Structure 1
Amino acid sequence: MKIRVYYEDTDLGGVVYYANYLKFCERARSEIFFKNNLLPVKDGCHFVVTEIKAKYIKPARFADILEVETKVLEIKRVYIKLKQIIYKNSEKIFEMEIKLAFICNDRPSAIPQDFLNLFEKL
């Protein structure tokens, strides 16, 4: 997924604020669902972040065009692990591994089959 860096994404120096890399990755995960005519919420149940490991490699700046790549590392009954990489001009500038648990009524729950099918295609 391509993302343009807007002024609101940057700090006083015109560099992307560190938390916004996480937002860019979140948008990319949402787009995976939207492009498949799904929402990342089902019957009041949804994914929550339970673990994250991020590595900031090089900065992105105002007006840059970034590409977010998402890969599946592991799929289990109630959680998935993903690796997301952000590139600027084909150069890796950020990467993270994230674990997402599927939650219903504040408890881990089985991921719906249509969601599993979606992630298995990545």
Structure 2
Amino acid sequence: MIHRFPLRVYYEDTDLAGIVYYANYLKFIERARSEFVRDHGIDQVSLKEEKGVVFAVRRLEADYLAPALFDDVLTVETSLEAVTGARMAMAQDVKRGDTILFTALVTLVAIRLSDGAPTRLPAEIRHIAS
């Protein structure tokens, strides 16, 4: 299952040449992951407040393949690659039409807010993978 998150490149996302600044791709994929989780019925605020669990990026592998430009309409495609007891891996592509501009594999871990230690993923998160 692929989740699609549309976005437009604004002037603030670019450098002087009108090319998306490299770090902004990380913001784009973060927004898309948040919407992926939300669209699966997971309320991260409730998860934090009621269970004391939040997500942290453990690992990120990224490839910049082609530039996105000011005013481009992009789509971030997110898919769940793997889920274990305390972590999940998500593949994410930023595309302009059919052209992949940026690709990333992101590993997230569940951590306890109280001490930052890894913890088991809540059942509602593990359920997404099934």
State TM-score, norm by structure 1: 0.92
Per-residue Cα deviation, 1:24-72 (whole angstroms, up to 9, x for no partner): 0000000112224432341331110111110000000111011111112
Alpha carbons of structure 1 residues 37 and 81: separation in structure 2 relative to 1, 3 Å: closer
Name the count of aligned residue pairs.
120
Q: Does 1:16 align with 2:20?
A: yes
Residue number in structure 1 paired with 2:88: 80
Q: Does 1:116 align with 2:120?
A: no
Unaligned runs of 5+ in 1: none
How big is the shift at 1:21? Answer: 0.5
Unaligned runs of 5+ in 2: none
Which of 2, 6, 15 is equivalent to 2:6?
2
Identity among equivalent positions (%) equals 38
Is the contact made by 2:110 and 2:118 (CA closer than 8 Å) also made in structure 1? Answer: yes
Residue number in structure 2 paired with 1:63: 71
For 1:16, what is the secondary structure of its paired residue?
Answer: coil
How big is the shift at 1:12? Answer: 0.9
Query: Whole-Å Cα distance in 2 between the matches of residues 20 and 74 of structure 1?
Result: 25
Consecutive aligned runs of 4 or more in structure 1 exceeding 6 Å deviation:
none
State TM-score, norm by structure 2: 0.86
1:40-51 to structure 2, matched below 5 A, reads: 40-41=44-45, 42=47, 43-51=51-59
Query: Whole-Å Cα distance in 2 between the matches of residues 47 and 100 of structure 1?
Result: 6
